[in-house]
Amino acid sequence: MDLLLRVTSGPHSGEEQRIDRSDPFIVGRSSRAAFPMVRDLLLSRDHFRIEKKEQVYHLIDLGSTNGTKVNGLRVERVMLREGDVITAGQSALEVLVFGSNPGGTVAASCVGCGARISPPLLPAESGSGESTGVIPPGDIDALDANLCSACRAMRRRFPETDPDFLIDELIGEGGMGEVYRATQLSTGRRVAIKMMLANATADDKAFNYFRREIHVLKNLLTPGGKGHPGIVEFYDLFEVDGHYQLIMEFVDGRNALEWARLFQPLPVATVALIGRQLLSALAYSHGKGFVHRDVKPSNLLVMGPVHRPRVKLSDFGLAKSFAEGNLFSTMTRQGDVGGSTGFLSPDHIREFRDVKEPADVYSAGATLYYLLTNEYPYYGFNPRQANSYELILESPPIPLRAFRPDAPEELENILQKALQKQPRARWKSAQAMSDALQELVLIGQS
């Protein structure tokens, strides 16, 4: 199956390009791109690429300045189908399947992977008996009739979910649940599905953490259903065989630990930009009445190139509402400490159930320190050793420039303030710390 990209608006309107090869096909302002659109000055030089794998095409944004949208939604990576509209820079491009059947009709495509299928699609019927061309999302027979044999077989390999979602890969697992990447068949949107394990060893605790995350993510949305761009978005919730499934935004990136290893040592301006985005997400969450309580590099999902990273804060399973006094209060028993030891604030250790916004500010500071140095802020600190809590409570943090002599003194001071033992000695808010990092971002961009 070959694709045809046809420019429908913008400086290159009317131009088209056929994609008939498996190697990456780059679209951008560069004259060396496979589809050079040199007159669209809002395109990045290499704006996005299209890759073909097993007869399926995916669009991947290349960290473009203004982003890439498919059917109006900004994307990092998405499968392309007949009729999709790509918007980039000043231009819109229509996606067409090149060629047709002998009768002149366009070949039917699998709603799961986009490959050609036979027999053709079975449209739903309206009450009058006329074809509407729309498949009801919950109609599994109609949806499966529009899947190729490979996608039908794939559905059987993974746990049962709502029939409108086709799971294609397990992308994360832990003691309490699993996360799968999936495609919503009725929209083509890629999503992440978080499922609580049916045989989790701590069923009650697992269920409560899962219930907490659902509550928090729903309450972080605006009345119009939108969330903060730096927080993984909540879409829907299902119950299958008595177990909840949380449908969330799929973020096609890496956690900050994995991402940082690709670019060590990370530039100061890059970490300052990551910090600004993280702190903006925390300020939004705090404004809605929630403390995250588990800020750490592995809960940050990072996309894009090293000079222009984009960040999403994830995993609100330990989040707590400080605005609704006793909400979930029974979940944290006396002496419980949640979160990852290397990024815990002294407040977590003293009284985890009562931590407030300054605890997130501390953890954000510890996270940025680690991304810059690949070290914890305390001499001899090992999160697995028995004295780890003692070091957090009593030891002064090692100055940043002991590990990163290239870092400006201003950044060292910002992190030192975030890592103060007493909450009142830290930045007054996540927004205040974010504002302090702004000049470092501007220096890196100059």
Mind listing the pLDDT tens digit for each residue in 47-92? Answer: 999 998 766 788 999 988 888 998 888 888 888 888 889 999 999 9
305: pLDDT strictly greater than 60: yes
Cβ 134 vs Cβ 142: under 8 Å? no
**So what's the pLDDT on residue 395?**
95
Give the contacts of 357 (CB within 8 A, at least 6 positions apart).
Answer: 282, 286, 291, 322, 429, 430
**So what's the pLDDT on residue 142?**
58
Give the global pTM.
0.74
Active site residue 2: no
**So what's the pLDDT on residue 146?**
80
Which has more pLDDT, 146 or 374? 374
Residue 228 CB-density burial (10 A; 0-12 exposed, 13-18 middle, 19+ buried): buried
Q: CA–CA distance from 46 to each of 65, 95, 304 (Å)?
A: 10, 19, 13
In the annotated binding site, the residues are: 194
Which has more pLDDT, 75 or 269? 269
Residue 282 CB-density burial (10 A; 0-12 exposed, 13-18 middle, 19+ buried): buried
In the annotated binding site for ATP, the residues are: 194
**So what's the pLDDT on residue 284?**
94
212: pLDDT strictly greater than 70: yes
Q: What is the mean pLDDT of residues 30-44?
A: 94
Which has more pLDDT, 445 or 32? 32
Give the contacts of 63 (CB within 8 A, at least 6 positions apart).
Answer: 44, 303, 304, 305, 308
pLDDT band at 3 (very low <50, low <70, confident <90, very high): confident
HSE-CB for 404 with a 13 A CA cutoff: 25
- Written as six digits, the tokens of 244 are 């909840």
* Residue of 40, 84, 164, 294 marked active site: 294
Percent of the chain with pLDDT over 70: 80
**So what's the pLDDT on residue 105?**
44
